[in-house]
Chain A
């Protein structure tokens, strides 16, 4: 039974992707009919035409959005909408950068400490909406929107007023120490010239860990139960307040980790002091929705979105702007919201077919 639902879910994601790509193709056609075909091929195969570097870049882009996707998806599974991934992401990035700049005393373990600091900071930031939801019944969506902006301004404030952290000329955070960069773990040999690093392995392992946590442990079951029906889980003797807070804290930890993995990637990333929310958090929503909140699905969805985003960069060679990719992703998400409709449609279709077969027998 469970398998059946999953396959329908997969079908509805596939349906959304196909519609999204079709819309993208139509936009290409409208804006430049002559190059539309070539443009569409570029979206689909762009990263593959640039050798191992192109493929490596896909995994590099995928790393942080897999984690923000896991963050949003994990919260979804426990009945919460974590639109606050953006704030948790930047707070985590900040913690990682602080340890990355000031924590040279940790030596070769510096990147591990920085990563853990980011996870912790993200967890704290995620726990805030959880706390106010559990104890004061505050809608987590609104609380998350608030913590997004508070986190962004707080980080801008803390970076720009600290001489040790702030590079005034470029208006961004200083570079982290070399020992704070996540080791390449051999990926630089496989994908020469790309920025992919051990962070990708960490993302994959985390996805597996979250999968096991949700599907194979009592703790995960309790969290999901609280998501399905708060009152029922309370009646069954579970501590629903604690579960909400823990769910949000774990979601926050995952987003915080995403921040560390991006800013410790050794690819020259700095926290820029601008008044805009981190895009990775919102991309995480797309990734989670497309991956149906299943950790393994999220992993694949993250790679898929990174893949067409990378394809979008190559689109510029044909004078198409990369925003087409954002439009395609938005359309995919819009249609993936129709999953209920697709589900009903498919089951009706099956029913009709079965009825027909039965009718034939008679």
Chain B
């Protein structure tokens, strides 16, 4: 039972960043802008916020520091995503090219600045954010160890954002307009929606969640940041498609990917799996193979926003 709890807790560490970033991608794609720059946005968000944690270590610690870091991560993500928004919306650039450029820029920038500030490319930080057990709630049998022990405040923020996303996308005027822009921008425009504004909103939200996702990825799994988020931004894109652009399904997809990642990372500690003796590479491959297979079955009637990736031009019909 204890192993099971441990696996679950570990899975959460991998699931939450995927969930956040994929939700970010969802907002952007729902508005019609493909955001392949999520990987770069994660790196930038993680970099500035971890650097902040590292530099303020002697003055700050605990949840207050983490909270400030969260704001910095999201803010950085927004700023960085504006480059993508400007290129794809104002300049009508190819969205994959602009995204690729940002993905290349982010790690180079992070290494460069880290070297200037600290001399090395790694940014070390002390993790003072782990919550051993949430008071009262942690003592509940089963649910306590699953959700309220060995956890981070970011896990709850992740779930809160999930709930918020469902409400925003499906139950607000903003969400309806956003979806309209991704499906048929001309129609949206004809009823007075400012398509460019909505697309900016979509990309900015993806920037905030992407940046936050970067921080949330690094904090529980490492004690230094080395200008990489290990392809999690790309993985989040897969989660987004696996989850068919729907928030709740995205949670399911993120959990599946997170579980596979956990198994790949710690299968030798799991008695049942270590006796089968399947090499870790197989577990590492499974999420990608599974995504490919799911795509094969779902792409014929894909739920992808219809107008995504096509620069919106007011004059075109």
Contact = CB atoms under 8 A, between A and B. Distances in A.
A334 B299 contact: no
B241 interface: yes
Given A137-B299, A146-B291, A327-B109, A340 B92 contact: yes
Interface string A308-327: 00000000000001011011
Given A149-B288, A275-B230, A341-B92, A330 B105 contact: yes
A83 B98 CA distance: 13
A286 B96 CA distance: 12
Majority secondary structure, A binding face: helix
B292 interface: yes
B108 interface: yes
Contacts of B111: 321, 323
B238 A146 contact: yes
A139 B101 CA distance: 20
A333 B96 CA distance: 11
B112 A149 contact: no
Contacts of A143: 292, 295
Contacts of A157: 279, 281-282, 285
A330 B108 contact: yes
Given A137-B300, A333-B100, A334-B83, A142 B238 contact: yes
A139 B300 CA distance: 10
Contacts of A154: 281, 285
Contacts of B231: 149, 277
B209 interface: no
A337 B92 CA distance: 9
Contacts of B284: 149, 153, 275
Contacts of B100: 83, 282, 285-286, 289, 333
Contacts of A338: 87, 91, 93
A146 B288 contact: yes
Interface string B92-114: 11101110111111011101100
A327 B105 contact: yes
Contacts of B297: 136
B281 A145 contact: no
A146 B112 contact: no
B186 to A, nearest CB: 19
A98 B87 CA distance: 44
A132 interface: yes
Interface in B242-299: 279, 281-282, 284-285, 288-289, 291-292, 295-297, 299
- What 5 pairs across the A-B complex have the smallest Cβ distances? A326-B108, A330-B105, A157-B281, A334-B101, A337-B93
7 contacts: A136-B297, A139-B241, A282-B100, A326-B104, A331-B105, A334-B101, A334-B105
Interface of A: 27, 31, 81, 83, 132, 136-139, 141-143, 145-147, 149-150, 153-154, 156-157, 160-161, 275-277, 282, 285-286, 289, 321, 323-324, 326-327, 329-331, 333-334, 336-341
Interface of B: 36, 83, 87, 91-94, 96-98, 100-105, 107-109, 111-112, 115-116, 228, 230-231, 234, 237-238, 241, 279, 281-282, 284-285, 288-289, 291-292, 295-297, 299-300, 302, 304
